[in-house]
Amino acid sequence: MSTETLNAADLKEQMLSAYPPKLAKKRGNQMVVNRKEGASEDEVPAIGANTRTSPGIITQRGCCYAGCKGVVLGPTRDIINLVHGPVGCSFYAWLTRRNQTRPPDEESENFMNYMFSTDMQDDEIIFGGEKKLAQAIREAYEIFHPKAIGVFSTCPVGLIGDDVHAVSRKMSEELGINVFGFSCEGYKGVSQSAGHHIANNQLFKHVIGRGTEVPEGDFKVNLMGEYNIGGDAFVLEEMFERCGITLCATFSGNSTIEQFERSHLADLNLVMCHRSINYIAEMIEEKYGTPWFKVNFIGADSTAKSLRKIADYFGDEGLKARVEEVIAEEMKEVAAARELHKPHLEGKTAMLFVGGSRAHHYQDLFAEVGMKTLSAGYEFAHRDDYEGRKVLPSIKVDADSRNIEELTVKRSEDEFRPEQQVRKAELTEQGFEFSDYVGMMPEMDKDTLVIDDISEHETEMLLRKVKPDIFCAGIKEKYGVQKFGIPCKQLHSYDYGGPYAGFKGAVNFWADIDRMINASVWKHLKAPWKN
Amino acid sequence: MNAAKTCQPVGAMYAALGIHRCLPHSHGSQGCCSYHRSALTRHYKEPVMAATSSFTEGTSVFGGMANLTQAIQTIFTAYEPDIIAVHTTCLSETIGDDIPSIVAKAIEKGFVPEGKLVIHTNTPSYIGSHVTGFSNMVASMVKYLSQANPKSADTFNVIPGWVEPSDMREIKRILKAMNVPFILFPDTSDVLDTALDGERQFYPDGGTTVEELRRTGGSRATFALGHFASEAAAKGLNEKCSVPAHLLDLPIGLRATDRFISALHEVCGVAVPAEIEKERGRLVDLMSDMQQYFDRKRVALVGDPDQIVALAEFCADLDMRPVYIVSGTPGKVFETRVLERLEERVPEVKIANGAGADMFLLHQWIKQEPVDLIIGNTYCKYISRDEDIPLIRHGFPILDRVGHSQFPTVGYMGAIRLLEKMLDAFLSRKDRDDAEEKLELVL
């Protein structure tokens, strides 16, 4: 039933023909056929990304607030996230992203099951909401006595001119705890992506670097852009521990504010989701000298590759041996799972339209069992996530991005660790790559179709014309896709399954994909008398 | 904290989905539309289509006119609905966008094809709740579409309130059984409970048609079910087209259904068929068979006001004690109506609604003195687990169970389902907790 290849150029034309001409031109820039005939391996066409979604398009995208509060800050259990605005924004972000967290004991703070909102009313829209915000911060403090409170601005806050930063500063003084604000009004930027950047900035300004306690361990790393959906971070924490790698902080799955505060003391930053967290990695390197590189723990082979790179970075023979032991041990189960599922999945086709890194990472998992990705795209990524960081200098900064603050970070005089940069220079000479992200497109096949910020109309056309064996997206797309009789795997919430990271995650993922593609129900869509 | 309500636009979106071939449109930032679609999708497990004006920082300074006109053009070209139902957001309300004048501009520019429509409602998120948004959108259907037409005066309008597609289907079944010619609006059955057969219909078969909405103005009377969700539209119809309005509770439970059936019988002049009388009889039979297990059970009700008023009465009619009643939706009339329905049978009742009435408060009350059962949405599961109290999921949103889309809780049959669910909760608990020697085979 599945089509092995697709006529990408033809499909693109058909998709665009439904739009008014101006819109067709704009969307056309955001759809590219990967690699032209005769192009070299790493030569990919330019794609339009991180640009506005045209009004009226049924888009997957959310807003700046969702990226800031929902994605980056949401998973930290001991910061109270207080949303300043009408009730809805906080309500919809209440426990809906499946960020799991595991406090060490009953007494440890965990506010993630609570929803905090100033529940702004019309009076506050007219006369200002700063008083109500201050009162809400005070109340939250009196009930819970948290170490920190983050204040998140929703759309009307920016418009009526409430100064969440001034209120936060004032309340910080009054209460003696860290209270900090985020100007992450929903209309900022063009997608969640702006919110990631704002979250990165504020964490860097108000939290990172406040810790002084150096965690014990010879190989100290931060794992960045891992949000512990479905328990991914738990799998990786356990894997690191077995390898003898010390995790200072995860940004931000299963995390605490204390981890963030001490994260500048790590030896290395590992970036999982490049889109949402690269800013902090860059700023920490600038100020403290800690190098970073891209890792991918989605896919068993990818996990092994990333672990080996970490061991090579530290260059310690003991660490290398332990990493090899862990890989060998884990690969037994992985090989068994691959043997079980590959015969059912090999040659099947997939499409992935999600997030800012998942649509790339999960292609590895499919490829490892012989599945082909025909078409993919991100919801809110930038050109560097598609084409690789090498295009960074050529990205034009438009008005929407210019409105998002770029922090100017200076080298810290007393805390910069030059030896880390020396190590980086040595390794770079040996061909080791730092501050790297090759992007999605160079790793995709020729003649695949890459679509940025895919619309509902384009999704439907892909499903009707190409009929992939599985489509990966989010909750809003899930049931519409399945009405075509094609299973849809949610890669935000994992359909309430997972974990999918690391070796164990790969085993879980293949089992789930095998179950979904080969479920009995797909054989019974038509009533017997209609066959 | 832990709100027992959400914001207006999601209700407007849900109501608009109950119009045939309608695309709801959210005039604000992208996130609003995304969050509302996600919330509705998680609850209904169905595709929920809606477009957005995708506001940017520039839009929030200069206003949303350019965005909305462009959206109207794109929607009619790419998604071809019969009608677009625009609702506002806190952002566009704070800016002060005037939707009718923007729509007029779009019409002037030729972006609205012949025979197609754009309607709108104002849903400032900082007033009321999601129920208010639903009510506003239904009232706008009347404002824009209802036409007085005495020639077609044989129908009766039924506004079902914010209930599930299964409930709307059940209300239609009852109306058909009673031989009442009706127009139900909005109607999300066959929109948010569609079949899977391998063919996707972007606009499913269900929904009240624009033509039917026009004819509501010529109907003989309107039955508005639920004060908070349906009264505004019924009043609007009376003012605009002189259609008399009959305001009733949601027909959940024995006596609220009795009042609904009686009203149909009296106002429409139809006989109550044996089929319906037998359904009532079977409900009453069950109530008497199992009365001992309900008697004096303490219950907490949290959620939307129209549902709670009816549920409180039904619980009291089962000799239960609805002791804690919480709704985030503001409105002074709520407490009065609950007390009216309780008829002084539960003097210890604590009622809170509006500002500060949230699940945190409910949890505090339960900690002070526990209950035997909680009826509310999925978020109650955290209280249920903490306090080891059974939960029956009812209301919005239900994110972790199915059934609400398939099985109604309105009408006598719906009451039987509710009763069965409550009984199951109590008896499963009893079977779990009874000492070995006390475990009963027959109950």
Residue A454 belongs to domain with CATH number: 3.40.50.1980
Query: Do A474 and A357 have their domain in common?
Result: yes
Is A55 within 8 Å of B198 when comparing Cβ atoms? no
Residue B91 lies in a domain: yes
Query: Do A43 and A83 have their domain in common?
Result: no
Counting one residue from A and one from B, how many pairs have CB atoms under 8 Å apart? 226
- In sequence order, the β-bridge partners of residue B23 are B84
Is A66 within 8 Å of B78 when comparing Cβ atoms? no
Query: Do B120 and B16 have their domain in common?
Result: yes
Average pLDDT of the segment spanning A506-518:
98
Is A88 within 8 Å of B30 when comparing Cβ atoms? no
pLDDT at A35: 78
Per-chain mean pLDDT for chain A:
96
Q: Domain boundary residue among B256, B277, B298?
A: B277
Q: Are B96 and B116 in contact (CB under 8 A)?
A: no
Instruction: Tell me the pLDDT tens digit for each residue of B82-118.
Output: 999 999 999 999 999 999 999 999 999 999 999 999 9
Q: Which residues of A touch B383 (CB under 8 A)?
A: none
Distance from CA of B103 to the nearest CA of A (A): 14
Query: Do A470 and A357 have their domain in common?
Result: yes
pLDDT at A41 exceeding the cut of 80: no
Segment among B148-162, B357-371, B405-419 with least mean pLDDT: B148-162
Residue A515 lies in a domain: no
Instruction: Tell me the pLDDT tens digit for each residue of A476-511.
Output: 999 999 999 999 999 999 999 999 999 999 999 999
pLDDT at B153: 74
Distance of alpha carbon A475 from alpha carbon B45, whole angstroms: 9
Query: Do B404 and B312 have their domain in common?
Result: yes
**Whether A152 contacts chain B with CB within 8 A:** no
- In sequence order, the β-bridge partners of residue A45 are none
Longest dimension (CA), chain A: 79
- Give the total number of structural domains in chain A: 3
Give the pLDDT band (50/70/90) at residue A38.
low
Q: DSSP 3-state assignment of B205?
A: coil
Query: Do B63 and B204 have their domain in common?
Result: no
Q: What is the CATH number of the domain that holds B358?
A: 3.40.50.1980
Q: Which residues of B touch A485 (CB under 8 A)?
A: 196, 198
**Whether B41 contacts chain A with CB within 8 A:** yes
Query: Do A69 and A135 have their domain in common?
Result: yes
Query: Using CB atoms, which residue from B41, B89, B355 is nearest to A476?
Result: B41
pLDDT at A6: 75
Tell me how crowded residue B439 is: count the other CB atoms within 10 A of its CB: 11
pLDDT at A4 exceeding the cut of 60: no
pLDDT at B182: 98
**Whether B28 contacts chain A with CB within 8 A:** yes
Query: Do A227 and A328 have their domain in common?
Result: yes
Closest chain A residue to the Cα of B69, Cα to Cα? A55
pLDDT at A1 exceeding the cut of 50: no
Per the structure, the complete domain to which residue A232 belongs is given by 220-341+392-429
Q: Which two tokens stand for residue A304?
A: 């092994």
Tell me how crowded residue B181 is: count the other CB atoms within 10 A of its CB: 14
Per-chain mean pLDDT for chain B:
97
Residue B1 lies in a domain: no
Residue A1 lies in a domain: no
Instruction: Tell me the pLDDT tens digit for each residue of A306-335.
Output: 999 999 999 999 999 999 999 999 999 999
- Which region holds residue A62: left if phi is over 0, alpha if psi is between -120 and 50, else beta? beta
Query: Do A367 and A302 have their domain in common?
Result: no
Average pLDDT of the segment spanning B145-149:
91
Query: Do A106 and A224 have their domain in common?
Result: no
Determine the number of helices (DSSP H) and then strands (DSSP E) in chain B: 18, 13
Distance of alpha carbon A233 from alpha carbon B229, whole angstroms: 44
Q: Which residues of B touch A475 (CB under 8 A)?
A: 38, 41-42
Q: DSSP 3-state assignment of B439?
A: coil
Distance of alpha carbon B243 from alpha carbon A251, whole angstroms: 60
Query: Do B239 and B260 have their domain in common?
Result: yes
Share of residues in chain A with pLDDT > 90 (%): 95
For residue A69, the 8-state DSSP code is I
**End-to-end Cα spacing for chain B:** 41
Average pLDDT of the segment spanning A292-311:
98
DSSP secondary structure, B220-259, as one string: SEEEEESHHHHHHHHHHHHHHH---EEEE---BSHHHHHH
Q: DSSP 3-state assignment of B279?
A: helix
Query: Using CB atoms, which residue from B9, B29, B38 is nearest to A476?
Result: B38
**Whether B293 contacts chain A with CB within 8 A:** no
How does strand B83-88 pair with strand B156-159? unpaired
Residue B41 lies in a domain: yes
Question: Which of A:51-80 have CB within 8 Å of B?
Answer: 52-66
Give the pLDDT band (50/70/90) at residue A3.
very low
Query: Using CB atoms, which residue from B1, B30, B68 is nearest to A114?
Result: B1
Q: Domain boundary residue among B107, B129, B145?
A: B145
Average pLDDT of the segment spanning B5-9:
98
**Whether B442 contacts chain A with CB within 8 A:** no
Residue B443 lies in a domain: no
Query: Using CB atoms, which residue from B38, B94, B129 is nearest to A92?
Result: B38
Query: Using CB atoms, which residue from A18, A159, A475 is nearest to B95?
Result: A159
Residue B442 lies in a domain: no
**Whether A480 contacts chain B with CB within 8 A:** yes
Amino acid at B303: G
Residues 6+ apart with CB under 8 A from B422: B294, B318, B373, B392
Query: Using CB atoms, which residue from B1, B35, B379 is nearest to A92?
Result: B35
Query: Do A417 and A270 have their domain in common?
Result: yes
Query: Do B417 and B298 have their domain in common?
Result: yes
Question: Which of A:296-315 have CB within 8 Å of B?
Answer: none
Query: Do A123 and A263 have their domain in common?
Result: no
pLDDT at B191: 98
- In sequence order, the β-bridge partners of residue A251 are A224
Residue A208 lies in a domain: no
Query: Do B288 and B416 have their domain in common?
Result: yes
Query: Do B265 and B288 have their domain in common?
Result: no
Q: Count Cα atoms within 13 angstroms, Cβ side, for A84.
A: 35
Query: Do A399 and A274 have their domain in common?
Result: yes
Is A117 within 8 Å of B194 when comparing Cβ atoms? no
Per the structure, the complete domain to which residue B43 belongs is given by 8-145
Nearest Cα residue to A440 out of A517, A364, A345, A336: A364
Residue A503 lies in a domain: no
Query: Do B288 and B431 have their domain in common?
Result: yes
Query: Do A230 and A357 have their domain in common?
Result: no
Distance of alpha carbon A53 from alpha carbon B56, whole angstroms: 10
Q: Which residues of A are part of the catalytic machinery?
A: 63, 66, 97, 196
Closest chain A residue to the Cα of B36, Cα to Cα? A92
State yes or no: cis peptide before B101, omega within 30 of 0.
no
pLDDT at A37: 63
Residue A357 lies in a domain: yes
Q: Domain boundary residue among B231, B259, B277?
A: B277
Is A88 within 8 Å of B199 when comparing Cβ atoms? no
- Give the total number of structural domains in chain B: 3
Residue B125 lies in a domain: yes
Is A115 within 8 Å of B1 when comparing Cβ atoms? yes
Question: Which of A:161-220 have CB within 8 Å of B?
Answer: 185-191
Distance of alpha carbon B116 from alpha carbon B112, whole angstroms: 6
Q: Which two tokens stand for residue A357?
A: 């890194």
Q: Which residues of B touch A125 (CB under 8 A)?
A: 90, 93-94, 124, 126
Query: Do A145 and A34 have their domain in common?
Result: no
Query: Do B336 and B190 have their domain in common?
Result: no
More confident residue, A159 or A3: A159
Query: Do B158 and B251 have their domain in common?
Result: yes
Distance of alpha carbon B169 from alpha carbon B175, whole angstroms: 10
Residue B231 lies in a domain: yes
Q: Domain boundary residue among A138, A160, A186?
A: A186
pLDDT at A43: 82
Q: Are B33 and B386 in contact (CB under 8 A)?
A: no
Residue B2 lies in a domain: no
Query: Do B157 and B141 have their domain in common?
Result: no
**Whether B49 contacts chain A with CB within 8 A:** yes
3-state helix, strand, coil in chain B (%, to 5): 50, 15, 35
Query: Do B292 and B414 have their domain in common?
Result: yes
Share of residues in chain B with pLDDT > 70 (%): 99
Q: Which residues of B touch A57 (CB under 8 A)?
A: 51, 54, 74, 78
Average pLDDT of the segment spanning B204-227:
97
* Residue whose tokens read 């002060």: B96
* Helix A300-314, helix A358-367: angle, nearest 10: 110
Is B94 within 8 Å of A57 when comparing Cβ atoms? no
